[in-house]
Amino acid sequence: MLVYLNGDWIPADSARVSVFDRGFIFGDSVYEVIPVYGHRTFREAAHLARLKASMAAVGMDERLGPVHWPTVCTRLAETLPAGDGTLYLQVTRGAAPRQHAFPANAPLTLFAYARPRVSEPAGSAASEMTAVLCDDIRWARCDIKTTSLIANVLLVQEALRRGADEALLVRDGLVNEGAVSNVFAVCGERLRTAPRNHLILGGITRDVVLELAAGLGIAVEERAPSQAELSGAREVLITSSSREVAAVTRIDGRPVGDGRPGPVFHRLHAAFETFKEEVRMGRRM
């Protein structure tokens, strides 16, 4: 597999980054994950805009790492054997003697590779998941897509330890998002999800689902459900580039609604599948 590193295309096992790289030392680094369907990237412009926003938010100077990401993305997407997968892009503040202050003029480290999508066995319920509620132990800039993910790593591990797939994160009594996903709850007739602010990562899949919901006439309210509202929700969904749109059927071991994916999930999931097909055909981005 060839990876992109600082302007070069190199076999993955011979790609090298300095041990003094600030991504390694401090987690001083931002990233993106871009889905690919049929060799075509999904919402590439929005993902690259979010990467730019993450870099700006942490004061990374783009001039220290010039790269034309669309060209890199196109080349990576072409390498995916079956056409479906994800692109991983990472930018660190470069290698420099260890001190917290930004180094003067250290070139950014630019890294990217493509990962094939793992196909689910036929008949498996890949779009059905379980979750547990956890305290949101992360920092207060969840809108920045940084690789400083130790809190998310611990939260996912806690979910797995408790026999679930995802941790839904509670802060001040509100469920803002998951450890690796955005969260939607069907409360009464409305689909509720946290507003885009510093307490969530503004998911690109979340945006697409909001557009699809509008097209389907599903009323949406961008207000985070409380823990009690989530427990009483008829349906709970999560969205992310890797998991797409999935139904959460149990939370803390208790069934959500009747414990099966509900009608709102089925409508949004079907619309999302159609959207993906259109991306594959080159009719949508």
Ligand X SMILES: Cc1ncc(COP(=O)(O)O)c(C=O)c1O
- Coil/strand/helix, residue 55: helix
- Pick between residue 33 and residue 137 the one whose CB is nearest to ligand X: 33
- Pick between residue 102 and residue 143 the one whose CB is nearest to ligand X: 143
Spatial neighbors of 197 by CB under 8 A, at least 6 apart, are: 143
Query: DSSP character for 77?
Result: H
Number of residues this chain uses to bind ligand X (CB under 6 A):
13
- Pick between residue 60 and residue 245 the one whose CB is nearest to ligand X: 245
How far is 261 from 248, CA to CA, in rounded Å?
7
> Residues 121-140: x/- map of binding to ligand X (CB under 6 A)?
--------------------
- Pick between residue 109 and residue 176 the one whose CB is nearest to ligand X: 176
The single residue listed with the structure tokens 């060799």 is 39
Q: Which residue number places its CB atom closest to ligand X?
A: 203
Spatial neighbors of 49 by CB under 8 A, at least 6 apart, are: none
- Coil/strand/helix, residue 65: coil
- Pick between residue 51 and residue 251 the one whose CB is nearest to ligand X: 51
Residue 29, interface with ligand X (CB under 6 A)?
no
Beta carbon of residue 66, minimum distance to ligand X (angstroms, whole number): 25
- Pick between residue 28 and residue 166 the one whose CB is nearest to ligand X: 166
- For the stretch 150-155, contacts whose Cβ atoms lie closer than 8 Å and that sit 24 or more positions apart, written own/partner, are 150/27, 152/179, 152/180, 155/179
How far is 99 from 133, CA to CA, in rounded Å?
37
CA distance between the termini of the chain = 26
**Going along 156-222, which residue ranges are E strands?**
166-171, 174-178, 182-187, 190-193, 220-221
Q: Which one of the listed residues 43, 50, 138, 145 is annotated catalytic?
A: 145
Instruction: Pick one of 203, 225, 261, 262: the residue that binds ligand X (CB under 6 A).
Output: 203
3-state helix, strand, coil in the chain (%, to 5): 30, 30, 40
52 counts as catalytic: no
Beta carbon of residue 141, minimum distance to ligand X (angstroms, whole number): 12
How far is 22 from 24, CA to CA, in rounded Å?
5
Residue 205, interface with ligand X (CB under 6 A)?
yes
Stretch that binds ligand X, among 119-127, 199-207, 220-228, 248-256 (CB under 6 A): 199-207
Two tokens, residue 42: 């999904």
Residue 206, interface with ligand X (CB under 6 A)?
yes
> Residues 63-82: x/- map of binding to ligand X (CB under 6 A)?
--------------------
> Residues 233-252: x/- map of binding to ligand X (CB under 6 A)?
------xxx-----------
> Residues 165-184: x/- map of binding to ligand X (CB under 6 A)?
------------x--xxx--
Beta carbon of residue 224, minimum distance to ligand X (angstroms, whole number): 13
Tell me which residues are annotated as active site: 145
Interface ranges with ligand X (CB under 6 A): 33, 177, 180-182, 201, 203-206, 239-241
